[in-house]
Chain A
Amino acid sequence: MNKVEELEQRWFKYKIKKVISPFLGFTALTVVAGTSYYFYDINKASLSPFVLTERATSVLGVSMDANKTMANPKEVKTTEISKVEVVEKPKVKTLEEVALRPVIPVIDMEKEERISNVKKVRPKQAVAGSSPLVRAKENNYLTPKELRAVTKAEQNVIPVPRKTKKMEFQTTSKDYLETLKAKFSKSKKPREALLLSKAYYKSANYEEAEKWALSANKLNSSSEESWLLFAKSKAKLGKRKEALKILVSYYKKSNSIKAKRLIGQIKAGRL
């Protein structure tokens, strides 16, 4: 065969390949994409928590078994109750089985309806016999009709105004101070002394406040509040220099920001 003729045949092959390969590629891609979507969808459904729970398996089992029973619904109605129960008893499935079983998340409404009809047949008779099923408690909620009747009756009743009782929570500062003093005499804790100092300071009894702050400080010299209250009371009593002296000595020891701020306030006369 001539070389050019042979070359022409090679060219034909090349052309066919060139035309067909993109088409084949596209087809293959579509198939792969379709298949992977299908499997992805299945996996997604099987991995769903609804499928993995036992309750859900029974639900799904009912829907599948219901298919069988629904094949002839009339038959179900006429059979003995115990048989119906056996048919409806959910199968025990292992977790693995459930996970592997493909579940198509589509609900057949007709089937659902039929299942609910079957369920309606069961209860009263089933409970009467020696059924292993647990009987549900009787519903004691009001029906809408009953509820309407009740609300109408309520409307007819004339409302009686409710009497409000007032409770009095009153105390006096004197009581409070006496209580605290009593507590302090018993416990001798710096907390009570400090609270007393605070109470006196609030009621502008700066002399008492100074006194109790000092006793609190004696019991616990590291208590910042006792230092500050003592100085504040001093300042209020017009002993600014003394107050500042106390605060400066405390600031040097503790480097407290509050003490620094208070020094500033006393110096500026803003206390």
Chain B
Amino acid sequence: MMTSTYEELKNIFIDSVDKSAYVELESAVYNYSVLESSLDKPLKMVLLYGKPGTGKSMLLNKLYHNLKENREIHYFDAPILSEKEFLKSIYEAMSGQAIPEKMRVNFDALLKYCQKLRDKRELVFLLDECQLYSEPLMEKIRLLSDTRVVKFVITLHKTENEDVIAKEHFKTRIWEIIEMSNANEYDLELYIQKKMIKKGFIDVSNNIKKRDIKYIHAQTKGNFRETNKYLYTVFDIYEYYERNEPEKIADKKFSKKILEMAAIRLGYIDE
């Protein structure tokens, strides 16, 4: 079966933190430069926080790929909830040695090991989804960062009910805070266009007009994850029409009807 144009298009918007999916937007470039420069400062912890889908993981991923050749940098994209596993991963990353299965890392010994490395090595750990870590584990992360050998860049979800920044250990120990927010209309337009143009869909990209972007922004509030989901649905419907009723999408204009249908499907609007 021949691959549909719209099938390819919808796949662009599959949500992932893949380096290739990273789109350089003005706000993202700024945040990235702040993040990169903060790593050169004698800071112990750097916090990236914002609502889900604002590009925190993407930024962390980008940082890792850009710096992995020049620095001792390690990226934990999924949270390691078990303390035993977490300490094991830290030690293995530092020593480059695997720990036998039935053994575990003694935290005090790890701290002493880190202290011995002071002024000799500097390691950066990128920890995503830190809101899932337990408080005792966060306390151990703090103690490790106090050795000034290990630096942590952590991401946190900013939730409506609980401002995680207010938590005691973050309040006193985070020195650099980078807040990520949803995109404005201009950034969202660039994001969509760049994603499409990157994959060679210049015509479709040109057909998306300002009013369409405005509508998309109104539905997704400029959230990148929601936008990906929305446009995936839009092109999924396009794909159906392309295969079954092509006359319905004969018009080159980006269909408002399909935008509305996708919004109904995702529950953005009530029928």
Contact surface of A with B, Cβ cutoff 8 Å: 2, 4, 7-8, 10-11, 13-15, 17
Interface pair A4/B257, CB less than 8 Å apart: no
Q: Which of B251-271 contact A (CB under 8 A)?
A: 257, 260-261, 264-265, 269-271
Which residue of the partner chain, among B237, B241, B244, B264, contacts A14 with CB atoms under 8 Å?
Answer: B264
Other A-B pairs, 14, CB within 8 Å; known A2-B240, A4-B240, A11-B264: A4-B244, A4-B261, A7-B261, A7-B264, A7-B265, A8-B261, A10-B264, A11-B260, A11-B261, A13-B271, A14-B264, A14-B270, A15-B260, A17-B271
From B240, B260, B270, B271, residue with most partner A Cβ within 10 Å: B271
9 contacts across the A-B interface (CB closer than 8 A): A2-B240, A4-B241, A4-B261, A7-B265, A10-B271, A11-B257, A11-B271, A14-B270, A14-B271
Contact surface of B with A, Cβ cutoff 8 Å: 237, 240-241, 244, 257, 260-261, 264-265, 269-271
Residues of B with C-beta under 8 A to A7: 237, 261, 264-265
Question: What B residues does A10 contact at CB under 8 A?
Answer: 261, 264, 271
Residue of B nearest to A9 (CB): B271
Q: Residue on B with the closest CB to A13?
A: B271
When C-beta atoms are compared, the residue in chain B nearest to A14 turns out to be B271
Contacts of B241 in A (CB 8 A): 4
A-B residue pairs, 5 tightest by C-beta: A14-B271, A4-B240, A10-B271, A11-B261, A13-B271
Whether A4 contacts B271 by the Cβ 8 Å rule is no
Residues in chain B near residue A15, CB distance under 8 A: 260
Q: Which residues of A contact B261 (CB under 8 A)?
A: 4, 7-8, 10-11
**A8–B255 Cα gap in the complex (Å)?**
13
In the complex, which residue of chain B has the Cβ closest to the Cβ of A7?
B261
Whether B240 contacts A14 by the Cβ 8 Å rule is no
- Give the CA-CA distance A13 to B269 in the complex, in Å: 12
SS of A interface (majority): helix
CA distance A8 to B241 in the complex (A): 11
Contact check, B264 vs A4: say whether CB atoms are below 8 A apart.
no
Residues of chain A with a CB closer than 8 A to B244's CB: 2, 4
Given the complex, which residues of A lie within 8 Å of B260, measured CB to CB?
Answer: 11, 14-15
| Cα separation A14 to B270 with both chains bound (whole Å) | 7
Docked CA distance A118–B41 (Å): 108
Kindly report which residue of chain A lies nearest to residue B270, judged by CB atoms: A14
A211 to B271, CA, bound (A): 110
A16–chain B nearest beta-carbon distance, Å: 10
Provide the bound-state CA to CA distance between A10 and B263, in Å: 11
- A3 → chain B closest CB, angstroms: 8
**CB neighbours of A17 from chain B (8 A):** 271
| Inter-chain contacts of A2 with B (CB < 8 A) | 240, 244
Nearest residue, chain A, Cβ from B257: A11
Q: Which residue of B lies closest to A17 (CB)?
A: B271
Nearest-CB distance from A15 to chain B (Å)? 8
B254: shortest Cβ distance to chain A, in Å? 16
Do A14 and B269 touch across chains, with their CB atoms under 8 A apart?
yes
Query: A13 to B271, alpha carbons, bound, how many Å?
Result: 6
Which residues from chain B contact A11 at a C-beta distance below 8 Å? Answer: 257, 260-261, 264, 271
Residues of A within 8 A of B269 (CB): 14
Q: Report B-chain residues with C-beta under 8 Å of the C-beta of A13.
A: 271
* Bound Cα distance A14, B241 (Å): 20
B234 to chain A, nearest CB (A): 12
- Shortest CB–CB separation between residue B271 and chain A, in angstroms? 4
Q: Which residues of B contact A14 (CB under 8 A)?
A: 260, 264, 269-271
Identity of the chain A residue whose Cβ is nearest the Cβ of B248 in the assembled complex? A8
Looking at the assembled complex, report how far the CB atom of B215 sits from the nearest CB atom of chain A, in whole angstroms.
Answer: 14
Q: How far is the CB of B68 from chain A (nearest CB, A)?
A: 43
Nearest-neighbor residue (CB-CB) of B262 within chain A: A7
A153 CB → nearest B CB, Å: 94
A4 to B240, CA, bound (A): 7
- Interchain CA distance A181-B72 in the complex, whole Å: 126
* Cβ contacts under 8 Å, A4 to chain B: 237, 240-241, 244, 261
CA distance A8 to B244 in the complex (A): 14
List A contacts of B257 (CB < 8 A). Answer: 11
Q: Provide the residues of chain A in CB contact with B271, threshold 8 Å.
A: 10-11, 13-14, 17
A7 to B258, CA, bound (A): 10
